[in-house]
Structure 1
Amino acid sequence: MTTTTTPARRRGRRQRNEISGREALLSSAITEFAKHGYEAASLRAIASGADVDVALCARLFGNKAKLWQAVLDTVADEFEQQHRATFEAIDNLADNQPYQAMYRFIEFHTRFTAENPELSAFLLQEATMSAERTKIIQQQIIQPMQQPMLKVVAKAKAAGVIDYHEPELFLRMLVAAIVFPLMVPEVSPSKRPESLQQRVITEVSRIYLNAPQPE
């Protein structure tokens, strides 16, 4: 009986239906930075995860610091392009239904975190390891992501749906309440039949939002 094996794909030029080496490196970099942090992640491991030669990584990005910056640039650009319409819709909804607008934001951020665990882990990892990198993340990722919601929380406060002294701090506490149990599900055991995502949406809404009173 004869057996055949499929030869491993040689590193080099990719097929047309494959993502580019640059895209593969950026995706692999997020994974490595999320798992090991900036200091421990290596270009060799990132290149291996992307199935490319480490020389390509050096040629495209130069060094690890520039690759890290490219990851942030890509994340910020993709988030703005993909979710601009979502935040515009939430802002429009807040004009007449501020409670529903805030609830929709909680739903959105819960789904986004659950669907992008490595991105969330990357941001959490880096934000706690270096003051300089935290400052960059703050300027390029956190502020632009939360800026569209400042108008919404102002409308929600005016309607009595939420209350705060500092809108930016309120938003970051709200997001942290969503992200932490999703990233560390072991701290949120339950016998309830609902998924963890739905439980987070329900509990965060109860804690942070004042439900509208029937007239």
Structure 2
Amino acid sequence: MKSGEHGKTRTRGRPRRGQEHDGGELLDAALACFAEHGFEKTSLRTIAARAGVDVALISYRFGSKMGLWTAVVDSVANDSVTRMAIWPEQHRELSPELQMEQLCTGMVEMMAERPLFAQLLISEIMTTGKGERQALIVDRLGRPIYAMLFDRITKIRNIDKHDDPDEIGMSILASMSMIGVLISTRQFVSSVSGIEEDDDTLKRRLAAMMLRLLK
């Protein structure tokens, strides 16, 4: 049988038309590997094996491990910014109090969907210093999300941005750090505290804590 006949032989590198691998699945596999093993200890072959693809496909699509890592961050950043951008219109008929509640609930929901990404962020921020990956996190994700939250909160609370920006900024950073740590270390926290909660209860508690910090 000739190579590729009946689709039984997998070709290397560029996929045949109509046989492209789902990019979302590949990014999910990469995120899981980077979160579990760290960037330096993760190889493209490990990611390829987890995704069930030829490693040449990753090189073709992303060029390098750093290219794939950047794509993972960009995917989460783009989705987060897109979702947050529509909240003001969705909540504009609500009272300021309910708008703040919905903001906190939305942030917790969004972060809880990606506990491995929270784990990756914490690892990168704590261990890499001011390197290329941390700079990329700041530029692509950190600053845009922070700016959107800052703008939204000042508008909901009807606060002049020049009155006391540091207080609002620290409240945002504290609440986001708290959520990220508690979500990414959930099993450890449960072991230490003995608190066992289902997903919905945990998210409600985190949203309530974030709301108290931001009021």
TM range (shorter): 0.7 to 0.9
Q: Give me the whole-angstrom Cα distance separating, in 2, the residues matched to 1:127 and 1:88.
A: 33
Question: Is 1:173 the counterpart of 2:174 in the alignment?
Answer: yes
Q: How many residues align?
A: 194
The alpha-carbon distance between structure 1 residues 168 and 56, as it changes in their structure 2 partners (threshold 3 A), is same
Tell me if structure 2 keeps the 8 A contact 1:24–1:50: yes
Q: Does 2:206 correspond to 1:200?
A: yes
Alpha-carbon distance in 1 for matches of 2:81, 2:145: 8
Counterparts in 2 of 1:24 and 1:190: CA distance versus 1, 3 Å:
closer
CA deviation string 1:72-96 (max 9, x = no partner):
2222222233442125435x36xx7
Q: What is the TM-score of this pair, normalised by structure 2?
A: 0.75
Unmatched runs of 5 consecutive residues or more in structure 1 = 1-8, 211-215
Q: TM-score, normalised by structure 1?
A: 0.75
Contact 1:34 1:118 in 2 (8 A): yes
Kept in 2, the 8 Å contact 1:43–1:57? The answer is yes
Corresponding residue for residue 139 of structure 1: 139
The Cα RMSD (Å) is 3.0
In structure 2, relative to structure 1, the CA distance for the partners of 1:78 and 1:202 (3 Å cut) is: closer
Equivalent in the alignment of 2:122: 124
User: Aligned residue for 1:6?
Assistant: none
Q: Which runs of 5+ in 2 are unaligned?
A: 1-7
Equivalent residues of 1:101, 1:152 under 8 A apart: no
CA deviations over 1:38-82 (Å, ceiling 9, x no partner): 111110001111111111111222211111112222222222334
The amino acid of 1:26's aligned partner reads L
Equivalent pair of 1:121/1:183 in contact (CA under 8 Å): yes
Write the deviation string for residues 92-150 of structure 1: whole angstroms up to 9, x where unpaired. 36xx7332222211111111122221222222222222222212101101111232222
Q: Corresponding residue for 2:3?
A: none
Instruction: Give the corresponding residue for 1:54.
Output: 55
